[in-house]
Amino acid sequence: MDAEGWTRELGRPGSVRELGGVRVSAVRCPALSLTGGGSGGPYHLALLLAGELVLDQEGRSARAGRGDLVLLDGGRPFRLAFTAPRNTVVTAHLPVVPGDPARCVARTLSGREGLGALVAGLLTGLARDTTPYRSAEERRLGVAVLELSGALLDSGHSEPVPEPLLPRVQAYVLQHLGDGRLTPDDVAAAHHISTRYLHRLFQRQGLTVAAWIKAQRLERCRRDLADPRLAHLPVHVIAARWGFAQPADFSRAFRAAYGTSPSCFRVRSLPTNSARAANDSPLTAQQTHG
């Protein structure tokens, strides 16, 4: 169930805020039951301001009252029941959540203390606020909702939670290694997360975003330099294929990683004839840096 479907099914919206990739909506509804899921919808972090709800999902049942928060995965089967005669709910519709979503859904979280109180205060304030923010400000507010909600959901588990988002991020980077202009900001935007959260994903594995990208580029350059089928390509062309725009920068990085220059590595790695052909090719000013 998407954000619009959620608002339409529950009842009369009090307010809707579009904050980049995040939407915050406030809805008042009578007692009712909903079933859905399986359509690949977003996640719904619901804050009960009045009434009571019961969410059944992933084999669990969560009961939330006034001041409680609960996460629903719109892409998986669920049953949601509002059991009070009058209910008011503020919902953050999130494109992603940290960790394993299956372990986050249908768990009651308090919105009266700690991170929960911060999330509840932010969502309540946004639902009541009518200030006409600029687009850049809306995006920043959306990032704030995403970051704070992610911190709350992360803190709701006493044991480490696997991070399925990281492999998807890394696969995306590998597909775009040849783009020398690729930045952490670009990667984060492509996955609807903040750059700060992107850095956190890598830090959990003892990595940094920039170092990991650089290592992947160098490894592919090393592989290509040792490939006889690519012996006709100058060193600087191979470097440029994998995002190194400046030959001198590539040469320094390669030497630091592998203890030798790209040209020397190629001579040692290629068969004699291929190595001779590569070395005999005319040098450009750029190749002299290799």
The strand ranges marked E within 127-242 are none
Q: Phi and psi dihedrals of 155, rounded to 5?
A: -75, -10
Rounded Cα–Cα distance for residues 164 and 40 (Å): 16
Region 71-90 average pLDDT: 89
Averaged pLDDT of the chain:
82
Pick 158 or 233 by higher pLDDT: 233
Q: What is the pLDDT of residue 239?
A: 94
Annotate 243-270 with DSSP letters as a single string.
T---HHHHHHHHHHHHSS-HHHHHHHHS
At residue 106 the predicted structure's pLDDT band, cuts being 50, 70 and 90, is: confident
Region 125-134 average pLDDT: 89
Q: What is the pLDDT of residue 77?
A: 85
Is residue 60's pLDDT more than 90?
A: no
Among 76-85, 155-164, 215-224, 279-288, where is mean pLDDT lowest? Answer: 279-288
Q: What is the pLDDT of residue 288?
A: 37
Q: How far from 242 is each of 75, 180, 192, 258, 264, CA to CA, in Å?
A: 36, 7, 25, 17, 19
Hey, is 87 helix, strand or coil?
strand
At residue 198 the predicted structure's pLDDT band, cuts being 50, 70 and 90, is: confident
Determine contact, residues 49/111, Cβ cutoff 8 Å. Answer: no
At residue 47 the predicted structure's pLDDT band, cuts being 50, 70 and 90, is: very high
Q: What is the pLDDT of residue 160?
A: 41
Q: Phi and psi dihedrals of 114, rounded to 5?
A: 55, -140
Is residue 234's pLDDT more than 50?
A: yes
Is residue 140's pLDDT more than 60?
A: yes
Stated pTM of the model = 0.53
Is residue 9's pLDDT more than 80?
A: no
Determine contact, residues 123/90, Cβ cutoff 8 Å. Answer: yes
Crossing angle (nearest 10°) for helices 195-203 and 135-155? 30
Q: What is the pLDDT of residue 39?
A: 57
Q: Pairing state of beta strands 109-110 and 60-64?
A: unpaired
Helix, strand, coil shares of the chain as percentages rounded to 5? Answer: 45, 20, 35
Region 227-231 average pLDDT: 91
